Amino acid sequence: MEKLIVELNKKLNNKFTFLKIYDVEYNVAEKLCTFTLMYPENVGDISFNDRNLIYDFIKSYLNLNGKLVLKFKKSYLDNEFILKEVMLFLKNNYSSIFAYIKDENIKIENKNCYINTTLSFAKNIINCIDRAKFEIDIINYLSSKFCAEFSLEIKELPVVEYDGIIEKRLENVLEQNMVEKTPRYKVIDPVMLVGKEFYFEPEYIENIETEKLSVILAGKVANLNKKTFIKKGKVEKEKAYYTFLLNEGKSSISVVYFCPKVNETKMDKLAVGDSVIMMGDVKNGYNGSLTLYARSIALCEIPKDIYITKPKTVVKNLGYKVVEPEKILSLEQENLFAVGPVYNKHIYDNNFVVFDVETTGLDADICEIIEIGACKIENGKITQKFQTLVKPKRPISELITNLTGINNKMVFNAPIIEDVIKDFHYFCENTILVGYNVGFDIKFVQNAGKPEGCMFSNEIEDAMAIAREKLRLGNYKLKTVVKELNINLENAHRAYNDALATAKAFLKLNEIN
């Protein structure tokens, strides 16, 4: 699309060299193309006549058979805006080091649209990245967000201290390319109270030292309060939220739950002394202390012996061992004018792994996985493919071969599940897991992962449940749903084909019409 700006300036004597394409949306149903063009604040406002010149050129250049809407966005080179974008880039693209970066490690120098960004990293972190690629990626990212010239400088810090914790511990871990295995325990008889179902194995509160996403914690409720606030908008609404202390032995953490209206009756029954398990994000609260912002809460019974905290252990993770994911380069996804879907905020705020397994039977406790297929969704696009056959310990029956097309000869040289599950766990880091009737697939994956220390404690969503909510059909088999959504499903009952169809359906069901 940058070629369009080049051609625009050729046609109009380089009058608009400062323009950049910020966003393009195409609504197929309405045949409406919306262009957002960005320009630097020091240019001043673009005149009505100039806007008409640009409009006429784009309409002619694209030969659009439909409506064109042109929007102009002023690029404010505020240091705080740039800092936020840098942090967002690190979070989405370098999540393994994001947790160890603070605002003070980033310095922004603004010299009349020439922006120099200085990142100060510990030596061990620098050694874990491809420095040249990192610099190119971040400069390209910032250039797409602001009208300015960007440069990047990386400074080395020998030892960094975070909240009184010497970074030497991290240095030793990263230099050996190791990751920590989180100690967990099981609660007894969990019953969902509010939110979506999750994995009922919490980690220990005393081991929570920094901000962390999708954390599972358990304990007893204390200091419970119900409060309200006014949500501003076109119509002001009073919203409820609950605050309490979650006590786990001698350790505790503050909890906040912003409560939808439909859940207030259930939350009002929660009482001081109740044992609960919950999933949410640990962030710095208003008072500066770590706070769990809960999304899902269940009642449970907590074992009496869990307060003997297990020491942290480490396991080697040298990247992918037997299954290397493939990048998906889809012409359909890159062609903005052919697709143009707009998804809800949930899709853009999270990364997802949509997966499916083929197995030797229906019982997750005795049957085995013979194929895993999955695709990753990032920023509303399907970006990576994970697919492998798995060699089971027992022969595949003729019934399963007839159903899936997978026979014993095909899996003879396939990797074993103990190796595959580690790679799949690595592929699923920092994502929400999505499946079709996901309860079946997740049991197999979790059972395979437990002996290897791969807990799959991710948040989980069921595409079938979303289809039931949004579609009115005679049945909700995957074939029926994808047909209704005009999605092609070839060679059903092979893991990757089913996962890809589910991913497309999941995105379609989350479109904003």
Q: Which residues are catalytic?
A: 493
Tell me how far CA of residue 30 lies from CA of 25, 38, 487, in angstroms: 12, 24, 20
Q: Which of 166, 194, 162 is nearest to 278 (CA)?
A: 194
Give the number of other CB atoms < 10 A from CB of residue 86.
22
* Residue 128: Cβ-neighbour burial (10 angstroms; 0-12, 13-18, 19+): middle
- Best CA proximity match to 257, nearest among 283, 290, 226, 214: 226
The two three-digit tokens of residue 297, written as one number: 């809460």
DSSP 194-217: ES-------B-GGG--S-EEEEEE
- Cβ–Cβ under 8 Å, residues 360 and 395: no
Q: Which amino acid is located at 333 in the chain?
A: Q
Residues 6+ apart with CB under 8 A from 343: 380, 507, 510, 511, 512
| Sequence-distant (≥ 6) Cβ neighbours of residue 455 within 8 angstroms | 182, 184, 199, 201, 446, 449
Token pair of 269, please?
């029954």
Q: 34 near 69, Cβ under 8 Å? A: yes
As a whole number of angstroms, the distance between CA 211 and CA 168 comes to 19
Q: Among candidates 479, 430, 485, which has minimal Cα distance to 459?
A: 430
Q: Which of 470, 460, 232 is nearest to 353 (CA)?
A: 460
Encode 39-80 in three state secondary structure: EEHHHCCCCHHHHHHHHHHHHHHHCCCCEEEEEEEEECCCHH
Cα atoms in the 13 Å half-sphere on the side-chain side of 173: 18
